[in-house]
Amino acid sequence: MLAAAAGLGKYRFQLQAMMTDILTYTMATGCPGKVLEQGRLMEIAAGIIFGTALVLTSLCINRLILGSKLRIDFYGLALTASSVLLLAVIGESLINPLYELWFGSKLWEYRILPLHDQNVSALGLIVWTAYGIHLYFAKQTLEAKLPPRWNTPFGIAFIIGFEAPFVFEILGNLIFLRLLGDYYAYYLPSDVYHLTSFQVIPIYMLCVYIGLLILDYLTRQPRRITLPPAIFGAGIVYVLAG
């Protein structure tokens, strides 16, 4: 347990160091979107607080459920986290405009460090990566505890399709409202007080299902130590390109 916590701490510090390098570069070069300004430091701090809290809470809960059966393979963890980041930001930048095209208005707008016409947030580099680490733990618990009928990519995607908006998004928005006085992601429908929306559930289910299939494919490939950093780097480039 102590070794796992130390390993996670090392990973978290590496991620924070990487984020510091990215943000420092942004300040020096005036990267598109002007992601970092002096007045944005509190927003970045809030993202780090939420991301860290999510990872540690997920580790504790899933460790409590699985005990010593909870595995922490750092290649698998990094591959999951980086893949979630890249797939999430690409999905957000494509799905929200399509939703607007079909239904006449967007489903959400990012209020904190928005990019890509408010469809994506620069804090996604922290928040989605943290959610990917949570998913790495939660997926093990679901695979260990679900009955065979539900223990499939579709069954897991169905459950996460409810968990992500009604736990991850609601708690995340409440934390940002408490720390910054504004929503992280503001949902235009008011069915859940703009914290999330029932309308996003089928979107999450579909995206998680596709993501699990992609992640399963990547996991079955020969291990290449450069793959997770390459995927994470692609996510950074994609986000900052907006």
Which pTM does this prediction carry?
A: 0.84
Q: What's the pLDDT at 35?
A: 47
Beta bridge partners of 115: 120
pLDDT in tens, 13-69: 444 554 454 444 444 444 444 444 545 889 999 999 999 999 999 999 999 999 999
Domain residue limits, the chain: 2-240
Exposure string over 50-71, b if 16+ CB within 10 A, otherwise e: bbeebbbebbeebbebeeeebe
- Please, what is the end-to-end C-alpha distance for the chain in angstroms? 40
Distance CA 79, CA 76 (A): 5
Nearest partner of 197 among 121, 130, 111, 106, judged by Cα: 106
**How distant, in Å, are the alpha carbons of 12, 84, 149, 210, 218 from that of 49?**
12, 19, 37, 29, 30
